[in-house]
Structure 1
Amino acid sequence: MKFNRRTFIKRLFIAAASIETFFLIKGSISKTHLEKDKKELFNAGKADSFEKNKPYPFLTGQFFLRRFDDGGFIAMSIKCTHLGCIVQSNIKTGGFNCPCHASQFNRFGEVLSSPATRPLDYFPITIKNGDILVDTSKPTKRKSFSKSQLTYV
């Protein structure tokens, strides 16, 4: 088999493009894998600065933080589980209302009226040195409220 200059350059170009494509694909796969495991901890502030039974909206973190009578904290997503609209806190009931399709949630984030079919998602909380750190990278779906979803100081 005889190589001329044109064939050699074509094959060299194809080999270089193949190697570059391999490294691009490998890099994007490993970046995606690292980003999935990455925690995004949002510092909500000192635990003792939050009143009981009052929702605190954190729009940049995309959650409501609530402290219950027993001192437990929960961080619930501000997104309605129906179509992702931003829910609003209801001062009268202590729950949440979706302005788009009228879903209502109680103070635990459980559905009171449809079209939403499941409670608001919640985020894991850790408390370090009195600071509330909310992991906004992992919203957790749930079927109902459970005391195990609360975090205590």
Structure 2
Amino acid sequence: MSSQKIKQTVDNTPPIESKVRRSLLNGLWMALSGLALAEIAWLVGSFLKPLQSTDSSVQAADIIDAGPVDRFAPNSVTAFPPGRFYLACLEDGGFLALSRRCTHLGCTVPWDPERKQFACPCHASVFDIRGEVIQSPAPRALDRFAVSIENRRVKVDVGTPIRRSAFRKDQVAHR
């Protein structure tokens, strides 16, 4: 009987190999869980981090040198994609930098040189060369950027768009 008792006692205790395997699997499970939590934390951190502009020329100074005054013909519009604006040279030779964003819902508004107007492709708002609303649903004129003329060169400050309700003559920079 003593041999049967010894067999039962030995059979009831888990073998050492089973304990080692269990602790190895527990350690592996903990390591993978920690790795998954670190990845989730990295993703959340990346999502919450503010975006940075990749265009260093605009980011550095927020001033874009559009070129010499003589480059722009009266009653013309020139697109500047890096600065996200149009430079309008009005009939009198004055300059107005207009935002490319429609004031209705923010769609990009292309210039139509044949019709001499900006036409929003999203909801059919139409603006004239000065950014004034010709056809709604846009509630107000296109936003503008500050323009200065230094040494016969046109410079546009694209740091902050200037919200406006309508066109005024004092918004134009003259040669």
Give the aligned partner of residue 141 of structure 2.
Answer: 119
Equivalents in 1 of 2:163, 2:102: separation in Å?
A: 12
The runs of 5 or more residues in structure 1 that have no matched partner are 1-37
Aligned to 2:25: none
**Separation of aligned partners in 1, 2:91 and 2:132:** 18
Whose RCO is larger (CA < 8 A, sep 6+)?
1
**Larger-gyration structure (1/2):** 2
What is the identity, as a one-letter code, of the residue corresponding to 1:43?
Answer: D
C-alpha RMSD of matched pairs (Å) = 1.3
Taking the TM superposition and a 5 Å limit, the aligned residue runs for 1:4-153 are 40-153=62-175
Distance 2:121 2:96 in 1: 22
| AA in 2 matched with 1:149 | Q
Could you list the structure 1 runs, at least 4 aligned residues long, displaced by more than 2 angstroms after superposition.
none
What is the identity, as a one-letter code, of the residue corresponding to 1:146? R
In the TM superposition, residue 130 of structure 1 has moved relative to its aligned partner by 1.4
**Alpha carbons of 1:148 and 1:39: their partners in 2 closer, same or farther (altered >3 Å)?**
farther
- What residue ranges of structure 2 are gaps of 5+ in the alignment? 1-59
Percent identity between matched residues is: 42
Aligned residues of 1:95 and 1:108 also touching (Cα < 8 A): no
How far, CA to CA, are the matches of 1:105 and 1:69 in structure 2? Answer: 16
Normalising by structure 1, what TM-score? Answer: 0.72
| Superposition deviation, residue 99 in structure 1 | 0.7
- Is the CA contact (8 Å cut-off) linking 1:93 and 1:106 kept in structure 2? no
